[in-house]
Amino acid sequence: MLKNAAAATALGLGLAWSGAAIAQETVKIGVILPYSGPFADAANQLQAGIDLYMAKHGDEVAGKKIEIIKRDTGGPAPDVAQRLAQELVVRDGVDILAGFALTPEALGAAPVSQEAQKLMVVMNAATSIVTEQSPYIVRTSVTIPQLNYSFGKWAFDEAGIKQAYTLVSDYGPGHDAEKSFSQGFTEAGGEILGSDRTPVANPDFSAFVQRVRDANPEAVYIFVPGGAQPAAIGKALADRGLAPPETKIFAQGELTHPEALESMGETARGIITTFHYTLERDDPLNKEYVEGYTAANNGRKPDLFSIGGYDGMHLIYEALKATDGDASGDALVEAAKGMAWESPRGPMSIDPETRDVVQTVYIREVQEVDGELQNVIIHEIPEVKDPLHGAN
């Protein structure tokens, strides 16, 4: 698919951009996101992170005006993402491609980035292979294996769990989560007693949870998308007596998003998750970010999508400063390699070899704080890379 996409891109674009002047007064950023459709909320939260950064830092950098051009895929739609990327480069003359909430859309646009030699900032898509698809891709979000490989090792080494069961949604991110958690856990010495995959759409968790109950593991690892599923699986586990402290519940951070905690209530207490961003993190930079984001978004608090957009814009701004406004892809990607900064999420950097994000992985437990359940950081693993790119 990628070879075909690359060929189509070359044919569709030709040398349309070869005569474009590098020096110009405006730097155009084409943001490709599923602003409508089933992932619209994720796209809009990511866009809100972009907007907040620009509201705070202005729309000029290195003497150039920053212009955002938004395009909606209605996705997931990799073919649409590729077409929109082509149009943005050829017709709209963008200097940078950005956004990409979904892996298929990042893969769709990657050949355009490579052929047109445009910096492409991936602000969410979390599959490991994304940065390998074009030498102009830089990621400012996270990878699923980055979180869960480390989490699996922690579960054995620090939490003392010897046996676990995995229960994940049956699609790409779930498969990545299952594989990486299991790999980290078994390499550390743990045993996976069983694994199951649930339907992505409208799953009935009862039969799956019963199989977990029958296996009687010390812990169960969960990966489900956000929305209604966290509350549903939390209830199904609790109904069958699978709940902390008797049974450890491990998961990626979506399971205990603030909105999910409200729906889950007491069934969330004691659940342990891994994530790269925790809005309750006690840090002045994060507090300022949370307050600014909440004020700008009708009381809604930031999430993983918004922080990816916010840090993506930071990378773009700082790269433009480093190049003195040169928006050519080669100049910007070289400026991005090895870049390091303090984010609201904590210290982060861009690996100069892989162009992928390196950051702290947080282990959190749902605890009651001031009468409310929230994610409390209980362990930090600094400077974690994706295991495909040499995790520590």
Which CATH number belongs to the domain containing residue 229 in this structure?
Answer: 3.40.50.2300
Do both 184 and 244 map to the same domain? yes
Do both 367 and 231 map to the same domain? yes
Structural domain boundaries, residue 59: 2-142+286-355
Nearest alpha carbon to residue 105 among 80, 135, 88, 138 = 80
Query: CA 133, CA 301: separation in Å to the nearest integer?
Result: 33
Do both 203 and 307 map to the same domain? no
Beta carbons of 61 and 320 less than 8 angstroms apart: yes
- pTM for the whole structure: 0.89
Segment 124-168, tens digit of pLDDT: 999 899 999 999 999 999 999 999 999 999 999 999 999 999 999
Instruction: Provide the number of structural domains found in the chain.
Output: 2
Query: CA 133, CA 97: separation in Å to the nearest integer?
Result: 14
Nearest alpha carbon to residue 121 among 7, 59, 32, 35 = 32
Do both 209 and 302 map to the same domain? no
329 found inside a domain: yes
Classify residue 67 by its DSSP letter: E
281 found inside a domain: no
Q: Within a 10 A sphere around the Cβ of 42, how many other Cβ atoms?
A: 22
Do both 252 and 187 map to the same domain? yes
Do both 94 and 243 map to the same domain? no
Segment 227-262, tens digit of pLDDT: 678 888 988 998 898 989 999 999 999 899 887 888
Segment 181-229, tens digit of pLDDT: 999 999 999 999 999 999 988 789 999 999 999 999 999 999 988 767 8
250 found inside a domain: yes
Do both 221 and 162 map to the same domain? yes
Do both 243 and 264 map to the same domain? yes
Tell me what pLDDT residue 389 has: 67
Query: CA 152, CA 185: separation in Å to the nearest integer?
Result: 4
Packing angle between helix 40-57 and helix 304-322, nearest 10 degrees?
40
Do both 134 and 209 map to the same domain? no
Say if residue 145 is preceded by a cis peptide, omega within 30 of 0.
no
Give Cα separations from 354 to 142, 182, 358, 391 (angstroms): 13, 24, 10, 12
280 found inside a domain: no
